[in-house]
Structure 1
Amino acid sequence: MMCKIYNIDSNSLTIDEVENLYLINKSISKKYKFLDPYISSYDYKALYLSSFNGIANELFVLEKNSLIYGMINCGKAADCNGNEQYKLNITLCDLPIDELMLKAINQLVQEKLAQHGEIVVVTYNHELNELINQYNNKVSLRANYYTLKREDIDIDMLNKYMKELEAKTSDLSIKYTDIISEDYIKQFCDLFTETMKDMPDVMEEGYIQYIINPEKQRQINESNKKRNITHNCYMIFNSNDEMIAKSNVSVNNNHTRFPYQFMIGVKRSYRGRNLGKWLYASMYKTLFETINFDRMLVSHHPANKHAINVSEWVGYKLNYLMTTHILYK
């Protein structure tokens, strides 16, 4: 039996080879329950395969006995603060993983680590833990990804809950914005940073804290405007007009199929009042009524039980675990 990894030259692929890779991608997406944005092999080539130039960005195929068992994309990428890293993203088909496959993957990892000195390796659902643990490594991110189908949103339940909670929280008010304007920008960044420090993500040895401040948020606002992205944000304020909770959803207006929910947070002194559910109910009612989407995406650290409970309450279901490892010599 033979198992090897070889580099794909996207410029020299035949129509049949593109179609085959497209079907493999479909199979991998089905296994992990990834959101699949490619509706045809033409889209897959134009939007994905064309990004690999064989130098800065490389696409590798894991092949055993003339069958493709997995795909690995490699290249430079930025972390959450824009710092450049060399990253390997390893996805495997829904087939048994054996020693020959592990040996081939390990050889590629060794080559890239020797070349770069430190690399980031992204794996899924614990399937390569044994291989990764052979190296000096730290976890920088561990995240369960959940999706919410449009048809699973119960609008009647959300309306009922919003009315009940509004009656119990007369000392608080909720506001919506589609951009973090100067009126809110400092409070938003301060609350973002404060609540982020309480997240279980900080437990990870290689955790990289996201840095946000008004200047950076202004740059994000400008970038969103250029890319036609709407930053939907619900914010809760106390009677002193202090922001004490917020929830965010990014929608690409060019392709609205898969909005992304991120960074829900409640100030510590206001927790236990179901404000997370109030934010979610308000947000998903608005998105359901105004955006033609397929599924929503959110990620939570596996230990972030409160956030997971709120997401599952509105209808999110677990898809996969993604782990980002930093390997170093």
Structure 2
Amino acid sequence: MALSDSLLTLSLALAAEAAVGYPNRLYTAIGHPVTWIGRLIKGLDRSLNRESWPFRQRRIAGVLALLVLLTVTGLMAWTLGALLRPLDLMGLLLLAILASSLIAQRSLHEHVAAVSKGLRESGIKGGRAAVSMIVGRNPQSLDEAGVSRAAIESLAENFSDGIVAPAFWLGLGGLPGAALYKAANTADSMIGHRTPRHEAFGWAAARFDDLVNLPASRLSALLIIMAAALHREASPQDAWRAVRRDASHHRSPNAGWPEAAMAGALGLRLAGPRVYGDVRVEDRWMGDGRAEAKADDIDRALALYRTACALLFCLAAGLALLAWFIAH
């Protein structure tokens, strides 16, 4: 697929997903690409991750599992693209619809907005119930400020790996690029953990996910800073300052970039010490504002997020137009 076609596919996919998301009826009927990828990962985990094997052998098995996952996913996506490409405009539209399922603008907004709604309508109990759907930390350990910060942190981090990253690889590599990214990201979320079962087997998935998210995390921070410049109550200068000072101190090589940008833009402190299950994680703070976030701050973050998504679409459409002019 030519770069101009993949960028046009990206523009159409972003617009389609923002408009309708992934319909619940479709999910009920056939599932979702992520659930299909997840089944393959579970199968590979069951068959190749043997607890009786030594650490080095399990790490090699994890590398093999990742290669199998990427090969199967890439071949299926490439085949779909090859079948649809001869259909010209209709094929392009169908490709865009397929690709839109790999982007999560609408669902992320809905899940984070539900936390704000839960806090407003049902207090801390409602906020904890809603935030438990999007974060892995123990919701019972969170007060209202903790719930609000968790929702904003999830919004910032998932803006990068749920929207900007698949969009980046879709624009660069068409449907196969986005599908391969989604496979790698799903593998990281399922097996890329430092647990007795997955510390060795999930090592390759975790490291590869860090690598493929590098460009998107930086672009996400830039989009948030640009969005802050368009909002009167946000500060692009503080967002830029927080990214330069704090992003590299996050335990993730990528999550700190959008989180620091969001924290600085909103005048908040994000990340910091928090509890996952029964384990307390002593992370550095992102931003130097107030830690006492509330539902209003979630709404402010969502407003920045919507603007950043619009800027991403404008960037994709502008690059598609430029690539078309160059090609013709």
TM, length-normalised to structure 1: 0.24
Q: TM (normalized to structure 2)?
A: 0.24
Bigger fraction of residues in helix: 2
More strand by share: 1
